[in-house]
Amino acid sequence: MLKQTKLSMISFFLLALVFISACASPNASSPYPSADHNNSDSSASSTPSSERTELTISAAASLTDVLEELQPRFETAHPGIKLSFNFGGSGSLQQQIEQGAPADLFLSAAEKNMQTLIDKGLMDTENTTTLLTNELVLITSSSNELPISSEQDLTAKDIKIVALGIPESVPAGSYAQEALTSLGLYEQLQPKIVQAKDVRQVLQYVETGNADAGFVYKTDALTSSKVKIVHTVDPSSYTAITYPVGVVLDSAHPEAAKAVYDFLQSSEAQAVFTKYGFSVPE
């Protein structure tokens, strides 16, 4: 009887050891993954499949729509490069570059802003060129019934607010100021003029009825169904509207920036620019 009891106890301890060993085994089934398994998965998921070079493109606000359409085309052809846009008034963008803000490529809506950066030694002059041309137009909201068909009509009492970009920093505003001055109307219209930070804000003022009329580029007017072009400003009354493009000399990725520079001059890109109403210099 005693011998049988001892055998039972030994069997019990052997079974207990087998059970403990099975629970401690790393291959044992468990609802919780091991710490080593978690670290392995985390490391794999946090490692990007490929490194992409990110470029900052400082561009005139009037180029917003066309560049956003061109972006996926370029990135598809150059999967190692990601484009990031900084849109604004050309004068403001020029000042940002002068102050050392990161930028790889500059697209201005006026030669003077590009030339200032060239004169200060901030642009790669071997990779700078005139990319596009544009026209200045006078717009009203689509529902507007006021008789506006020329600059002179803006002097009428019924016209309360005329929007244009800040002439000192927004090329479209500078061109409008030139045109109105050449017609002897700028000083007369001063009480009615409201200035905007860029040409897209002028467009918004007119769209929302916060301005009776405004001066924008033809290409901006064509992007909105809420406005209509009532007059094309005489090109001889203002400086020719050109869009230069260039690689910033301090670009952290000059080769990638050059790829964008070349792409913007390609027949594919030029076709898209033309679709948006821009003209391409011959």
Query: What would the pLDDT profile of 93-140 be if each residue is shown by its tens digit?
Result: 999 999 999 999 999 999 999 999 999 999 999 999 999 999 999 999
Q: At how many degrees (to 10) do helices 171-182 and 199-207 cross?
A: 70
Enter the DSSP assignment of 31: S
**Distance of alpha carbon 90 from alpha carbon 148, whole angstroms:** 29
Closest by CA to 241, choosing from 210, 196, 198, 278, is 278
Rounded to whole angstroms, the Cα distance separating 7 from 262 reads 88
Q: Which regions of 118-225 does DSSP assign to beta strands (E)?
A: 123-133, 136-141, 162-165, 193-196, 213-217
Q: Which fold does the domain 53-133+243-275 belong to in CATH? A: D-Maltodextrin-Binding Protein; domain 2 (3.40.190)
User: Is residue 276 helix, strand or coil?
Assistant: coil
- If one counts every other C-beta atom within 10 angstroms of the C-beta of residue 253, the result is 17
pTM of the model: 0.77
pLDDT digits (tens, 9 = 90+) for 57-102: 999 999 999 999 999 999 999 999 999 999 999 999 999 999 999 9
* 136-237: CATH class: alpha beta
Tell me what pLDDT residue 48 has. Answer: 54
How is residue 118 written in tokens? 């060239």
113 close to 171: Cβ distance less than 8 angstroms: yes
* CATH 3.40.190.10 domain position(s) in the chain: 53-133+243-275, 136-237
